[in-house]
C-alpha cells in the first residue's frame, strides 16, 4: 500500500501548558503512561488525563462546509491523522509507527477549545473531534508514520 493511501500521521503538535501555544514537530518521543515528551498531557498528567489526542485531517477539512477553517494544530490535538476512522479505534489497540496505543474515548469538542480558537466548533465537530488514547509502549512518533489497528495474535 502506498503512503498516499495508507493511514498515517500528518501533523504532530504539542503544547507545554494547557491553553499554551502549540508547537509543530517532525517527530516526538512517546512516553508510555504519560504522553508526548514536552506536552502538557505528560507534564501535567493526572489520573483523569489521557496520554495523547488524535484528530482526523478529514474532519478538520470538513469544517469548511460550516465556513470554518482550522490551521494545523489549531484543533489542539497532538496527532493529526489521515486515512483512519478514529471513532472505530475506541477500545482497540493500534499502532502509531512502532508505538502501541489504546483508544480510550472520543475527544469531544469543548467550550475551552471554542474560547481558544474563537470559532464555533462544538456542533460541527461533535463525534468528529478525535480520540483520546493511552500509550502502551514508548518510542518515537514521526510525521508519516503509519496508523493501523493491532492484529490479534495467532498463538
Burial class (CB in 10 A: 0-12, 13-18, 19+), 27: middle
| Confidence (pLDDT) at 2 | 44
Q: Tally Cβ neighbours within 10 Å of residue 107.
A: 22
Q: Domains (ranges, CATH) in the chain?
A: 8-149 (2.40.33.20)
What whole-number percentage of the chain has pLDDT above 90?
65
Give the model's pLDDT for residue 5. 67
Task: Please tell me the distance from the alpha carbon of residue 71 to that of residue 64, in angstroms, as a whole number.
Answer: 12
Residue 44: pLDDT band (50, 70, 90) is confident
What are the tens digits of pLDDT across the range 66-122? 899 998 899 999 999 999 999 999 999 999 999 999 999 999 888 888 888 888 888
42 close to 50: Cβ distance less than 8 angstroms: no
H helix or E strand, kind and range, residue 114: helix 111-117
Whole-prediction pTM value? 0.89
Task: Give CA–CA dist 79/94, Å, rounded.
Answer: 14
Amino acid at each position: 500500500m502506498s503512503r498516499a493511501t495508507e493511514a498515517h500521521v500528518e501533523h504532530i503538535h504539542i503544547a507545554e501548558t494547557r491553553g499554551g501555544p502549540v508547537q509543530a514537530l517532525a517527530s516526538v518521543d512517546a512516553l508510555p503512561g504519560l504522553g508526548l515528551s514536552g506536552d502538557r498531557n505528560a507534564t501535567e498528567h493526572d489520573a483523569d488525563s489521557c496520554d495523547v489526542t488524535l484528530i482526523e485531517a478529514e474532519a478538520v477539512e470538513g469544517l469548511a462546509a460550516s465556513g470554518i477553517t482550522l490551521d494545523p494544530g489549531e484543533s489542539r490535538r497532538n496527532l493529526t491523522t489521515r486515512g483512519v476512522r478514529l471513532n472505530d479505534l475506541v477500545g482497540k489497540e493500534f499502532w502509531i509507527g512502532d508505538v502501541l496505543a489504546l483508544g480510550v474515548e472520543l475527544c469531544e469538542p469543548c467550550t475551552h477549545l471554542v474560547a481558544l480558537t474563537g470559532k464555533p466548533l462544538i456542533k460541527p465537530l461533535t463525534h468528529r473531534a478525535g480520540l483520546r488514547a493511552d500509550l502502551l509502549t514508548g518510542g518515537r512518533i514521526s510525521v508519516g508514520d503509519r496508523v493501523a489497528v493491532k492484529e490479534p495474535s495467532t498463538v
